[in-house]
Amino acid sequence: MGKAANNPMSGLGGAIRKPDLLLCEEGVVTKCDVKQEKFDMRIDIYAMGEMKKRYGDDNKKDSYIELAGKVAFLLEAQDRRYTMPGIQLLGNKIILTIFDCGGWISTYPLDIHQFPEEFLCIILRVTFADGITLSFNPTVSPTQNSQRVIQITKHSKQYEILVDMLLFFSGSLHGCGTTVWSGTVMINQEDEDVVVKDSWVDLLRQYMEGRILKVLETASVEGVLRLVHEQQVQTRHPIMQELLNNSTHILHMLLRAPRPSALYYLCVLSCLVSNHKNI
């Protein structure tokens, strides 16, 4: 990676980080090397990893803590992303860990000499995965010409919300992963100023935010946000390629975890669009 290897990543205020391994698009390394630029966490990085010379309990724990900290920064920098793969190379062992708002799931340490095919599968799958497989939200477009678009489907009709600003992002790995944008959308030939909130929710709860707003609106309660639309964000299954609601259950089943642990939560990605016109 040449001189670029000595440049810490930027893109999140004054925070800088230097992972041992980076996955980025072709040409990014050359750009940073030639132009003496830093890697930008917001657009350049797809996955990362940590390396240690030897495998051991202490190195395994230390590399995981380092990796988790950098993943948290990356997810905060990339506001249209909710899942992040990370690799630990510890001597002759490799560990793949998937982080999302449900928590984290890791493979057991694989000896790369005894299991070369599994080693190649991990490396190649992460390297050649597309954006949806790497869990970039398909309903939120990349920033182009300083403009971002969020797509929603209301009554089987597609609408585009032109984003003005990122209002809030939760930087916690464990939690709802809440992201809030402001923007405008044209519905019924009229532009509306709206707030879009993406968050991971538990469908087993009887009263979630969207239902509460609808109940309050039906009761003509003043001073609360008006619910414009609510939907579950859909994604493509990494293997079956069919569309389904984006759920941490997908990851749990793909990795064949025996059962949800106390450190991992099953939830779905919800998109809530509201308007403050009635306040």
Whether 255 and 181 map to the same domain: the answer is yes
In a domain, 136, yes or no: no
Binned at pLDDT 50, 70 and 90, residue 234 comes out as confident
62 SS3 class: helix
**Residue 27 predicted with pLDDT over 80:** no
Facing residues of 61 across strands? none
Do 153 and 95 lie in a common domain?
Answer: no
In this structure, is residue 139 part of a structural domain? no
**Which pLDDT value is given to residue 148?**
82
Angstrom distance (rounded) from CA 242 to CA 239: 8
Q: What is the mean pLDDT of the chain?
A: 79
**Range scoring the smallest mean pLDDT among 59-63, 104-108, 135-139:** 135-139
What are residue 44's phi and psi, to 5 degrees? -95, -25
Domain shared by 214 and 108, yes or no: no
256, 198: one domain:
yes
pLDDT beyond 60 at 262:
no
Model confidence at 13, in pLDDT bands (50, 70, 90)?
low
Identify the domain containing residue 196 by its residue range: 148-275
Q: Does residue 197 share a domain with residue 164?
A: yes
